[in-house]
Structure 1
Amino acid sequence: MDPSRLHPQARTAMRVQQRVPLTRATLPAARLSMVRATPDEVGSGPAIRSVVSVDAGGVPARLYRDAGDDPLPVVLHAHGGGWVMGGVETHDGWCRHLAAASGWAVLSVDYRLAPEHPYPAAVNDMAGALGWLRGPGAVAYGLDPGRIVVAGDSVGGHLAAVTARRARDAGIRLAGQLLSCPVIDPAADYPPLDEYGLDREEMRFFWDAYAPAGVDRTHPDLDPLRADLTDLPPAVVVTAELDLLAAEGERYAAALLAAGVPVTATRYQGLIHNFPRKLALFDAAHLALAQLAAALRRW
């Protein structure tokens, strides 16, 4: 590790979560480790006007509202965790912050996890929740079915990007997409940045769990770079210099721009994978949150 490249706060952040070598046998321990690290990484988040559990068309989800005016635009949020861990609890603090900072409602989707539920379970759950947001169930919660943004961190960014493309293909116009340190490319051709947190073997485990042998990873649902990207909603893409996913996230931002999609892409220097979620550890996480919230207010 080159200490000169690493943000000082990243040194502390990399020691917070107990790292568990990922195998099928150790996955329960890895899931628990992520949950246990959440208070120290994310914090509890602000008290906001309303937090309720909802059945989003058969998909469990949690709805956050801080503004009082109806109808509220809504962020459809997919959590990170390699498709195999994480959930509404690990991202509760972040969703609270986003709702408070933006004035938008946030619907955090508790999609099914791999390997118990491999592709396409997670992205189908996102589609189910999007369908619910566009129907009478969401209207009953004071949500605006005409102003929906998809968002996600890490593999949640992948799910958000795929959901945005699927929505366009179905004739649904979303207002935007917020992608934080997104997973994009199943080729898994990563740079040697293992010492900065997320490593290449973990990513290969995640991909094998979500899209196991026999699944065509060239399908646009798995490789967004192979999709027709025209007429997708405007995007904000946040990457971190020392994240092995940075290059693929930036390639995706460039591909969106080449397809005529308005894109704001920002690389945060000296930082590591998924720093925006870790609001209790990184000053830059609050800057990234402010950037995302500003985009929502503009949309």
Structure 2
Amino acid sequence: MTDYKELIDAETWAFIEKTNSYYPPDTIDYTIEQQRGVYDRMCREFFAGYPDGVTAETTTIKTSDHAIPVRIYRKAGEQPNALVLYFHGGGFILGGLDSHDDVCAELCGRTGYEVVSVDYRLAPEHRHPAAFEDAMAAFHWVVSHYQLPILLVGDSAGGNLAAAVAHATRTHTHRAIGQLLIYPGLGGDQSKGSYVKHAEAPMLTMRDLIFYKNIRTGEEERIGDPTVAPLLDRDFRNLPPTVVITAECDPLSSDGEAYRDRILAAGGKAFWREEEGLVHGYLRARHSVTRARESFARIADAVGLLGRKEWPIEWRLP
């Protein structure tokens, strides 16, 4: 049994307790509608506002049969040299433009890059591959509307989508110049590593992960499908330079290590960092927990470095 009293500091425990007060650990037993209401309220409670000079515009991407809302963040006085295409977390059933609004605004403010946040379709109303198709549509939209190099960024479920898009577009003329994945679920081996050691971690458990997966796919087994689980891809060549940041106390952490190793084995550039004592969802703690604040600074710095094509990144992150 993992002793989280030793691994997690007082600041992080305070964040966990605050989160649980708005989003109790048994929320997955609620209806989907109830879960969304609880999650949205929690996100509002943690909302930190926009940095000075950052503005946002909400618009839509029109596809043949539906529209995908997107929110575009810009920083006054900046001439961005890259664009961040951001995919939010939420287990493929929760979240949207508002849930990660301040995170995207702060990434824009810290880097000066334009950020496009994507409100992809959610399960169970729209099961896989709906979210992936929307992520791909967003990629092609930014390619057609911008001359800027593209960075793929996402947290949790959004990290999965960012990686899936990176795999699917690696031969595209305007393929991404980098990807940054924040505690992503990439479909790793659940019989070992953090999946076992942190199966009952605060903020995210194996029970949660199985629930989200079953809702996303309708319990359909999709063996070997990298659009569901990028770690199932057979080819890791020609992926963009990759940074993966995970939380130590999270069943998904081993996915970051495995993904880095697969890319390096294929001759690519990849860096993985596991953040000591942090938990899944710690982006919302970036203003209240020292470790989370430092990690978010590293994340923003890494996005900046990827946009400037500076490597190796591990030499430049404190």
Normalising by structure 2, report the TM-score: 0.85
**Distance 1:225-1:175 versus aligned 2 partners, 3 A rule:** same
Q: Contact 1:240/1:269 (CA < 8 Å) preserved in 2? A: yes
In the TM superposition, 1:33-182 aligns within 5 A as 33-57=38-62, 58-70=67-79, 72-135=81-144, 138-139=145-146, 144-145=147-148, 147-182=149-184
SS of the residue aligned with 1:16? helix
Cα offset for 1:231? 0.8
Inter-partner Cα distance in structure 1 for 2:98 and 2:87: 12
Divergent runs of 4+, >6 A: none
Residue identity matched to 1:258: A
Cα offset for 1:278? 3.0
Check if 1:246 corresponds to 2:248. no
Residue identity matched to 1:241: E
Cα offset for 1:220? 1.3
Check if 1:233 corresponds to 2:228. no
Query: Please, which moves more after superposition, 73-82 or 282-291?
Result: 282-291
Inter-partner Cα distance in structure 2 for 1:221 and 1:97: 29
**Aligned Cα RMSD in Å?**
2.0
Cα offset for 1:13? 1.4
Residue identity matched to 2:216: Y
Residue identity matched to 2:224: T
Cα offset for 1:287? 2.2
State the partner residue of 1:204.
210
Inter-partner Cα distance in structure 2 for 1:269 and 1:186: 20
Task: Show CA shifts across 1:237-293 (max 9, x none).
Answer: 101111111012221122112222212211111111121343233223332232232
Inter-partner Cα distance in structure 2 for 1:22 and 1:188: 23
In the TM superposition, 1:180-219 aligns within 5 A as 180-185=182-187, 188-189=190-191, 190-193=195-198, 194-219=200-225
**Distance 1:185-1:116 versus aligned 2 partners, 3 A rule:** same
Structure 2: runs of 5+ lacking an equivalent = 309-318
The alignment of Structure 1 onto Structure 2 pairs a total of residues equal to 292
Cα offset for 1:166? 0.7
Query: Please, which moves more after superposition, 41-50 or 237-246?
Result: 41-50
SS of the residue aligned with 2:185? coil
Percent identity over the alignment? Answer: 31
Inter-partner Cα distance in structure 1 for 2:168 and 2:79: 27
Cα offset for 1:125? 0.5
Inter-partner Cα distance in structure 1 for 2:115 and 2:101: 10
Residue identity matched to 2:56: V
Inter-partner Cα distance in structure 1 for 2:110 and 2:4: 35
Residue identity matched to 1:203: L
**Distance 1:184-1:166 versus aligned 2 partners, 3 A rule:** same
Query: Please, which moves more after superposition, 154-163 or 247-256?
Result: 247-256
Inter-partner Cα distance in structure 1 for 2:273 and 2:188: 22
